[in-house]
Chains A and B, each alone.
Chain A
Amino acid sequence: MLYFSRTKILLIFLAIFFALLFAFPNIFSESHLKNFPSFLPKQKVNLGLDLQGGSHLLLEVDTNEIIKERIENLSFDLRRLLKKNDIGLSNLKIDNESIIFFSSQVTSSLVKEIEDLSISNSQSIMQISGRTNLIVQNNNNEFIISFNEEFIKQSVTSAVNQSLEIVRRRIDELGTREPSIQKQGSSRIIIQLPGLDEPERIKSLLGKTAKLTFQLVDQTASYDPNYPKKVPIGSEILESDQNPKVKYVVKKRIMVGGENLVDAQPGFDTQTNEPIVTFRFDRIGAKKFGKVTQGNIGKPFAIVLDNKVITAPVIRDAILGGSGQISGGFNAEEANDLAILLRAGALPAPLIILEERSVGPDLGADSISAGKYAAIIGFIAVIIFMIVIYRFFGFFADIALIINLIMVLGILSLLQATLTLPGIAGIILTIGMAVDANVLIFERIKEEIRNGSSMISSVENGYKRALSTILDANITTLIAATILFFMASGPVRGFSITLTIGIFTSVFTAFTFTRFLISLYVRKLKPSNVGLPDEV
C-alpha cells in the first residue's frame, strides 16, 4: 500500500491539477475572466436563487377549469341538438364535469348524434378523427354525459403545453435575465427568475388569463342592485375593471375574441394624451369587427378582459380597417402590461401560484459572506485540532483537506451544479467529515504500532485494514445523500450535491494524496517513530 508507480503518481497529480484548473475561475471577477485565454475554463460555481437573489414560482394550470369550459361548450351544442329533436330542456343541468338530463324520447340514433357532437366540438385538440370523446350513460332515461379519460388527459396536456408557451412569451416580453421556465409533472410549471427579488409585476402578469372579448352592451336592461342576478336570457352582468361597484349588462355572445389579434402596442391618445393600447386584427377578426361596428353604430360596445369590462365606448363609425384602440384609464405601465398580455395571447386556463420563494439580493449576499466566514473558521479549527492530535500526520491530513475543498469547488464548477445555502452547509459538514477517513487510518496505524509492528508495515497495514471500514462508513452517508437528492427540490437539494461530492473527494484524497505524502515521509525520511502521539 505504500508503493506508488509513476503512472499512479502522475494520475493523482493530474486529478489535483484539473480540480485546481476548474476551481480557479471562482476567485476572479467576470471582467477578469473575459481576458483569459480561451483554452482555460471560465465557468464559476452556479449560485442558487437563495444566494444570488431571485424568484422561484411554482404554478399549476387549473385543469378543472379546462374541463368545465369544455363541458359548458358541449352543453350549448347539446341544447341545440335536443331542441331540434323536440326534447324538453328544463331538466338539463351541468353537474361536476358531466351533463345530466331526463328524457324518455332519446332514440339510439340520437345517442349516436350526441356522441358525434364531441367530434365537432373538439377537432382542434383531438387528432383522432371519427371517434367519440364522450361517455353517454343511460340509467332509466337519466342520461349522464361526460368526457372520457383519454380526452381529458389530452385536453390537459395540450392546455399545459400552450400555457407554458404563453408564460414564456409573457416573461420574455419583460426582458428578465436568464429566466428558466420548465414543465413539472403533468400540470405544473416551474419558473426561476434570477435577480428578480420582487416578482409582483410578473405575478400579476401571470395571474391574468388575458381572455379578451368584444361584446355588445345589452341596452334593454340595466343593473338593479336589489336583484343582482336578474338579467335577460343571453345576457350577463360584468363588473368594471376599475371599479367593482360599476356593473354592466352585457350580451353573452362574443362578437370578436382576442384570438383574432395579431398585434397590440402601448401608446398615447393623440388628443387626450392618455395611455392607450392599440391593436390590430387578423383578416377574419377585421371582417367580424367591421361587420359588428357597421351594424351597431350608436350603441356601446364592451371590451372585456377576463370577465371584467375595461371600457364600453359607443360605436361612432364602422371600423373596417381592422385596427382600434382601448383606453381604460390606464397608466403607462398598465397599458404596457396589457399590450404584453394581448400580444402573448390568452391562457387556456387560469394559472394558480402554488408556491413562491423570493430572496432579495441583500439576503443572498449576506448568506454567501456568512457561509464563507463559517467555512473559514470551521476549517481553521479543524486544521489546528488535527495537528494537535496527530502532529505531522495531522499536517498531511490538513493538506489533503485543502485539496479536498478545491476539488469540491472544481467539480461544482465543472458540473455547473447549483450551490445553495444548504449546499454551503454541506461543504462545511464535509470539512468536519473529510478528515474521518484519515482519522480511521491513523488510528489503525497507531494500533499496529502498539501491537509491535515495524513502522513501515504498520502504515502499510493501517491503510489496508481501514479500507473496508472507510468504504462501508461512507457508503451509508452516500445512501442518505442520494435519497435526499431524489426526494428534495430547490435549495435543500444543493446540500445533497455538495455532501455527495465531498464524500467522493475525501475518500479519494485519503487513499491517494495523503497516502502518497505519508509513504514519502515514511520511506524517504525513515523516521524512528511515526510521530503519532499515543496520548490524546
Chain B
Amino acid sequence: MKFNLNNTKIPFMSARIGAFIFSVFLVVISFGLFFYSGLNFGIDFKGGTLIEIETEEQVDLGEIRTALSSLSLGDVQVQEFGSSNNILIRVEQQLGGDSVQQNAVEVVKTSLNESLHTTVNYRRTEVVGPKVSGELIKSGVIAIVVAVFAMLIYIWFRFEWQFSLGAVLALIHDVILTIGVFCFTQLEFNLPIIAAILAIVGYSMNDTVVVYDRVRENLRKHRSKPIDDLLNLSINETLSRTIITSITTLLALVSLYIFGGSVIKGFTFAMIWGVIVGTYSSIFVAAPLLKYLDVKREWSTTSAVDSTK
C-alpha cells in the first residue's frame, strides 16, 4: 500500500462545485425514479403473504406458477431464493380486509401439498394485513423524520445552527440517495431497510461530526485563514480516519452480505450503499456547505463547547 492518507493536501474545496452538481443530479434522478418506477414495497408495507419453501427435489417454478395461478388470488410471484430448492412465493393482499388474508396461506399451502410431488418444507410464512402494513409505513416514515430532526437538534446544541443545517442537508441527501438506489434496483423495500436507513443516518452523522469537530477546532486555531483553506485543511486532517473507519465498516458489511444468508441481503446492501454515500457526503457535501452557511469565526477558546479541553 503506497498511497498516503496523512499530510494530504487534496483540494476538496475546488471540487465542491462539481460535487454539488453531481449530488444534485443524483438527488434529482432519485426523485425521478421514485415517481417514475417507485419503490418495490415488500409485504411489510404493501400487505400480502410471503411463503418461503424448501423442496426435497428440485421443482420447476412454472409448475408452481400454474398451480397457484388457478387459485384466483390475484398477483402471485414465484421466484428462486438463494438456492434452486428454495422458493419464495408472494401473494398480493387479498380484497376484503384483514379477516380474509389468512385464506391465501391456507389455499396456497393446500395447493402446493397437492400439486408438488415432493416433500415441501415451509421455512417462513409472513402475512401482513392492510391495517398493520399501513401502520408500519407510518411509523417507518416517522422514525426517519424524527431521527433526522433529533440530529438537527443535537448538532445545533453541540455546535451552532450553521453546522446543524449543513449536517442535516447532507443527511437528507444520504436518505434520498438510499431510497433512490432502491427505486433503481427495484430491490424489495421492507421493514429492515428502514432500520438500515436509520443506521445510515447514525453512521453518516458520525462521519460528519468528526469532520465538523475538526473544522471547529481549526476555526479557533487559525482565526485569519480563509474559510476555503480552513475547510480543506480540516477535511484533509480527518481524511485518514474517515477512510479507515469506512473500510473496516465495509469489511464487516461485505462479509455479512456474502455470507449472511438471503434473508438479510437487502438490509446489508442498504448499509453498504449508505456507508459509501455517507462517507462521500461528509467530505463533499457537509463540509463544503459550511462555506455558504456563514459559520461564526469568533469562537472563544474557553466556551462551553470547547472540544480541546
List residues of A whose CB falls within 8 A of some B CB.
50, 58, 60, 62, 197-198, 200, 203, 207, 350, 352-360, 362-363, 366-367, 370-371, 373-375, 377-379, 381-382, 385-386, 388-389, 421-422, 424-425, 428-429, 431-433, 435-436, 439-440, 443, 446-447, 450, 465, 468-469, 472-481, 483-484, 487-488, 490-492, 495-496, 499, 534-536
A480 — which chain B residues lie within 8 A by C-beta?
147, 150-151, 198-199, 201-202, 205
A429 — which chain B residues lie within 8 A by C-beta?
199, 249, 252-253, 256, 271
Q: A197-B122, A370-B261 are in contact. Are A440 and B252 (CB under 8 A)?
A: no
B12-20, B33-41, B95-103 - the one binding chain A = B95-103
B140 — which chain A residues lie within 8 A by C-beta?
487
Partner of A487, one of B2, B105, B109, B142: B142
CB–CB A440/B129 < 8 A: no
B65 — which chain A residues lie within 8 A by C-beta?
none
Partner of B147, one of A360, A370, A483: A483
A362 — which chain B residues lie within 8 A by C-beta?
54, 121, 123
- The listed residue with most B CB atoms (<10 A of its CB), out of A375, A447, A469, is A469
CB–CB B261/A366 < 8 A: yes
CB–CB A479/B154 < 8 A: yes
> Which residues of chain B (231-271) have a CB below 8 Å from chain A?
237-238, 240-241, 244-245, 247-256, 258-261, 263-264, 267-268, 271
CB–CB B260/A425 < 8 A: yes
Can you list 18 A-B contacts (CB < 8 A)? A352-B99, A353-B101, A356-B127, A370-B259, A378-B255, A422-B264, A425-B264, A428-B252, A429-B199, A429-B271, A431-B252, A433-B248, A468-B309, A472-B209, A479-B154, A488-B194, A496-B195, A536-B5
CB–CB B255/A483 < 8 A: no
Partner of A499, one of B199, B207, B260, B261: B199
CB–CB A433/B203 < 8 A: yes
Q: Mark B196-239, 1 if CB is under 8 A from A, else 0.
A: 00110111011101100110000000000000000000000110
In the complex formed, the residue of B with least CB distance to A478 is: B202
Tell me if B160 is interfacial: C-beta within 8 Å of chain A. no
CB–CB A473/B127 < 8 A: no
A499–B124 Cα gap in the complex (Å)? 26
A433–B250 Cα gap in the complex (Å)? 9
CB–CB B122/A495 < 8 A: no
A357 — which chain B residues lie within 8 A by C-beta?
125-127
**Taking the nearest CB of chain A, how far is it from the CB of B286, in angstroms?**
12
A72–B207 Cα gap in the complex (Å)? 63
CB–CB A60/B131 < 8 A: yes
Partner of A421, one of B4, B129, B245, B263: B263
A436–B205 Cα gap in the complex (Å)? 14
CB–CB A484/B126 < 8 A: no
CB–CB A359/B249 < 8 A: no
**Taking the nearest CB of chain A, how far is it from the CB of B135, in angstroms?**
9
CB–CB A465/B308 < 8 A: yes
A116–B147 Cα gap in the complex (Å)? 53
CB–CB A382/B252 < 8 A: yes
How many residues does chain B have at the interface if contact means C-beta atoms less than 8 Å apart? 81
A421 — which chain B residues lie within 8 A by C-beta?
261, 263-264
Tell me if B146 is interfacial: C-beta within 8 Å of chain A. yes
In the complex formed, the residue of B with least CB distance to A465 is: B308
A432–B244 Cα gap in the complex (Å)? 10
Tell me if B188 is interfacial: C-beta within 8 Å of chain A. no
Known: A479-B202, A484-B199, A488-B195. 4 other contacts (CB 8 A): A373-B260, A374-B258, A440-B241, A477-B203
A308–B307 Cα gap in the complex (Å)? 75
A478–B199 Cα gap in the complex (Å)? 9
Q: A60-B98, A476-B202, A480-B199 are in contact. Are A432 and B248 (CB under 8 A)?
A: yes
Partner of A428, one of B209, B238, B253: B253
Q: Mark B1-29, 1 if CB is under 8 A from A, else 0.
A: 11111110000000000000000000000
CB–CB A389/B244 < 8 A: yes
In the complex formed, the residue of B with least CB distance to A496 is: B195
Q: A468-B213, A483-B150 are in contact. Are A356 and B102 (CB under 8 A)?
A: yes
Tell me if B291 is interfacial: C-beta within 8 Å of chain A. no
A480–B256 Cα gap in the complex (Å)? 21
A375–B245 Cα gap in the complex (Å)? 17
A359–B210 Cα gap in the complex (Å)? 41
CB–CB A354/B129 < 8 A: yes
CB–CB B256/A476 < 8 A: no
- The listed residue with most A CB atoms (<10 A of its CB), out of B5, B131, B248, B255, is B248
